[in-house]
Structure 1
Amino acid sequence: MLTTSTTIPLLPGTAIPQIGFGVFLVDPEDTQRVVEDALAVGYRHIDTATGYNNEKEVGAALRASGIPREEIFVTTKLRNDHHKAGDVEGAFERSLEALGLDALDLYLIHWPMPANDRYVDTWKTFETFHADGRAKAIGVSNFQIPHLERLLAETEVVPAVNQVELHPIFQQRELRAFQDGHGIKTESWGPLGQGKYDLFGMVPVQAAAAAHDATPAQVVLRWHLQTGNIVIPKSNRRERMAENLDVFSFELSDDEMRAIDDLDENRRVGGHPDEIN
């Protein structure tokens, strides 16, 4: 049974809460309040990135919450310019300092930036963070199958997670199948489509919402969870945070799951990983 405390194993002794809270596009001046609210309503997985420019404020919220550090799973990501410049060690240490942490639960390469051809070398540096315990798990974001194949062939540690754009019209089925075959967990960013199409107006979503007395957003988040994805919704509003977390009192039927599965158009609404360099 899925609950707010459901976790997905990453490595021996390390597990990630299946639902978390993201702070992409949360203004730094709002971030501490927003993250404190998220923790207060029950989130125990916070996802940030150096490129979001709010790591310091996330760290302040973690300390202000009074929640023991070991109860909160924290992810951040290497910013593209540090990846491009090869400033990986320095960037990692600056993230730890900004967050006020001795170690991360998960550290990700934010984008592969394939035209720069540095992600293999960057990953080898990530492996040292994992080996010395400063990162309990390491992973990637926005990697496609060819990028993952190179890492598997040329490095030692299999990425624990690949965080990618994933929502009902872009379900990344081929990538997910590849990752399942190699023990790489799939984490969804933009799980509600970032408001870039009428997801909540789609008939299968509306029908399931009516059947379960739920909101369309709750239905889509529940679909992610039952699919097996790790999911990181975001909101600046405390009541919406609580609503997004309230997805454990109902279960989508097999027919409802298939109907949402059938919405897949293999269509991105975000940037293509091969084009972000």
Structure 2
Amino acid sequence: MSSTPVPTVPISGGAAMPMIGFGTWQLSGEDAYRAVSTALEAGYRHIDTAVGYVNHRQVGRALADSGIPRHEVFVTTKLLPNSAGRERQALERAVDQLGVAYVDLWLLRHPPRQDPLPAVWQAMAELADEGTARAVGVSNHTTALIDTLIWETGRTPAVNQVAFSPARFDPQLLVEHAERRVAVQGYSPLRHTDLSHPALTAPAARLGATPAQVVLAWHLARRVTTLPSSTRPDHIRDNLTAAQLTLSAAELHTIDTLDQHTAALSATPGP
């Protein structure tokens, strides 16, 4: 097990969210079980999954087989928007498949056509009050959508999970979320990022690290929780040790301003 200290960010509900988590999007079957088992053994204490990933049972089996006390692992899952009116059943099914009594974070995935879903959000918040979810948040929501949910229900999401990488750096997004006290959680941290760019290879060489580790360290410096994913044990372990790296202010600024031609980014939907 890794002794790498991973910073945490406090979120509503009293939970401390580890800022490097293990993402399970596109992991299924025994690949998901093996990858999550490797991540837990390496020292990850934050696992991200969702109903739509169809891997709850494999993630739950890895958690059980790890022998790690439940309270030591931060578990996130997500509600599909088409579960409107069936929020309780969806949450009960999720925790049953995961083999846990509660999840630490329950996210409302992006609404269809980007229409706000205040009734669904209200139901999720009320269920969280019962204790089956320690905190509730959203995924792929704009700040305008978040504002609508807050206005309609009086409940602020603890977290917004969005695509975040050097190619998608948006300082205004970070400002707007900080103003609302909504933590930013970023998925696909390496997607569309040119790992051969000098802005990444130079600090990697200075630190004796990989460019991928530099990208993850940049996320932490920007106070964005990151969710790298891999099936390769060496990559899984290396990603976690990014928490040991410290980038200079100049290096951070250079990564902030990387020209990754974001207009050409793929429109493929994410987690």
Q: TM-score if structure 1 supplies the norm length?
A: 0.90
Amino acid at match of 2:233: R
Aligned to 1:130: 128
Q: Give the deviation of 1:174 after TM superposition.
A: 2.1
Matches within 5 A, 1:155-234: 155-193=153-191, 197-234=192-229
How many angstroms apart in 1 are the aligned matches of 2:261 and 2:168?
4
Matched residue of 1:108: which SS? Answer: strand
- Of 119, 141, 144, the residue aligned with 1:143 is 141
How many angstroms apart in 2 are the aligned matches of 1:207 and 1:263?
13
Amino acid at match of 1:108: L
How many angstroms apart in 1 are the aligned matches of 2:104 and 2:149?
21
Q: Deviations over 1:10-45 (max 9, x none)?
A: 025311011110100012232111111100000000
How many angstroms apart in 2 are the aligned matches of 1:178 and 1:272?
25
How many angstroms apart in 2 are the aligned matches of 1:228 and 1:198?
19
Aligned to 1:46: 47
Aligned to 2:77: 76
Count matched residues.
266
CA contact (8 A) 1:4 1:19 kept: no
Task: Confirm or deny that 1:240 pairs with 2:235.
Answer: yes
* % same residue: 38
Aligned to 1:29: 30
Aligned to 2:18: 17
How many angstroms apart in 1 are the aligned matches of 2:38 and 2:268?
32
Shift of the 260–166 alpha-carbon distance from structure 1 to 2, 3 Å rule, reads: same
Shift of the 249–127 alpha-carbon distance from structure 1 to 2, 3 Å rule, reads: closer
How many angstroms apart in 2 are the aligned matches of 1:32 and 1:249?
27
Give ranges in structure 1 of 5+ residues lacking alignment: none
Q: Give the deviation of 1:172 after TM superposition.
A: 2.8
Q: Deviations over 1:179-206 (max 9, x none)?
A: 100100000011111xxx3520222011
Give ranges in structure 2 of 5+ residues lacking alignment: none
Q: TM-score if structure 2 supplies the norm length?
A: 0.92
How many angstroms apart in 2 are the aligned matches of 1:57 and 1:23?
10
CA contact (8 A) 1:108 1:140 kept: yes
Aligned to 2:98: 99
Aligned to 1:108: 107
Moved more, 136-145 or 257-266: 257-266
Matched residue of 2:166: which SS? Answer: coil
Q: Deviations over 1:95-132 (max 9, x none)?
A: 111101111100001112245x4621110111111111
Q: Give the deviation of 1:89 after TM superposition.
A: 2.0
